[in-house]
Amino acid sequence: MATELHVFAVPGIPEAKGGDEPGVLIADAIERAGLALADDDVLVVAQKLVSKAEGAIVALADVRPSAQAREWAEAHGRDAATTEVVLRESRRIVRMERGVIISETRHGFICANAGVDSSNVAPGYVAILPRDPDGSANRLREVVERRFSCRVAVIVADTFGRPWREGVVNVALGVSGLRPLDDLRGRADRHGRLLHSTIVAVADEIASAAELVMGKTCGLPAAVVRGAGQWTGRGTGAELRRPAAMDMFR
């Protein structure tokens, strides 16, 4: 168990453009800041940076809204083209009421607006989630590991809302080099009693820790969490997605 963590933002990452290699943008910024990554660091990267670099950006002028999208947008004061992108990115609608669409994305994430978002994107465009967040995390890890000659973990993260609680928190979409779930079942507590149902989503907790230094308005789309080396290893973000058959809320 880590008893100490250090979390710091990577300063000076430029705006990502289509075709950029996210790992290069971030590694360059780390070097310019006189910093380096070390073994067991966890690099947390905002989904938006990855989406921009991968061209997961949609020009709204090119989108022809369906009748469903137009009706919904008109009824709820939303943009029809953006609504159309949300519906295209969804493989199933979980809730569609009060002007909010909660849907399951093609990856299996359940979130508001299928992760489609216009903030920090040029006017007239929206960002969608990366096609394959685990693949994005893998490529990012390869690039930064080569640059800094060390073994690290990478999390591609986005802020999601939750039922029952106000506010969004950062969660791990893509994971590479990290066991995202720490399964304490079978370990004993202080009374020697087995812990029965405790699996901690450490990747989500690490993403949340990083968000505190990243900030949505400050152009800090990456942060390093140092001290979480006990969880580095093999793992994917897919492990964090609960299978539909095990879920009580969809």
What residues between 111 and 150 interact with its own copies by CB under 8 A? 118-123
For residues 185-204, which are near its own copies according to CB under 8 A? 187-191, 193, 195-196, 198-202, 204
Three-state DSSP class for residue 88: helix
For residues 15-34, which are near its own copies according to CB under 8 A? 15
Q: Could you tell me the sign of the dihedral formed by the alpha carbons of 213, 216, 218, 223, in that order?
A: positive
Interatomic CA distance for residues 116 and 205, integer angstroms: 23
For residues 46-85, which are near its own copies according to CB under 8 A? none
Count Cα neighbours of 122 within 13 Å in the Cβ-side half-sphere. 12
Which range in 16-24, 137-145, 146-154, 180-188 contacts its own copies by CB under 8 A? 180-188
Which range in 49-57, 139-147, 149-157, 241-249 contacts its own copies by CB under 8 A? 241-249
Q: Any contact of residue 234 with its own copies (CB under 8 A)?
A: no
Q: Smallest distance from the beta carbon of 146 to its own copies, in angstroms? A: 26
When binding is defined by CB under 8 A, the residue of 19, 75, 164, 234 that contacts its own copies is 164
Q: Smallest distance from the beta carbon of 71 to its own copies, in angstroms? A: 20
Residue 121's Cβ-count burial label (10 Å; 0-12, 13-18, 19+) is: middle
Local structure of residue 195 (DSSP, 8 states): P
Q: Any contact of residue 166 with its own copies (CB under 8 A)?
A: yes
Nearer to its own copies, 139 or 237 (CB): 237
When binding is defined by CB under 8 A, the residue of 162, 174, 178, 233 that contacts its own copies is 162
Local structure of residue 21 (DSSP, 8 states): -
Interatomic CA distance for residues 158 and 47, integer angstroms: 5
Nearer to its own copies, 124 or 131 (CB): 124
Q: Smallest distance from the beta carbon of 135 to its own copies, in angstroms? A: 20
List residues bridging with 222 in a β-sheet. 45
Residues that contact its own copies, how many (by CB under 8 A)? 77
Q: Taking Cα atoms as reference points, which of 149, 170, 153, 152 lies closest to residue 161?
A: 170
* 145 and 155 Cβ atoms separated by less than 8 Å: no
When binding is defined by CB under 8 A, the residue of 220, 222, 229, 236 that contacts its own copies is 220
Three-state DSSP class for residue 143: helix
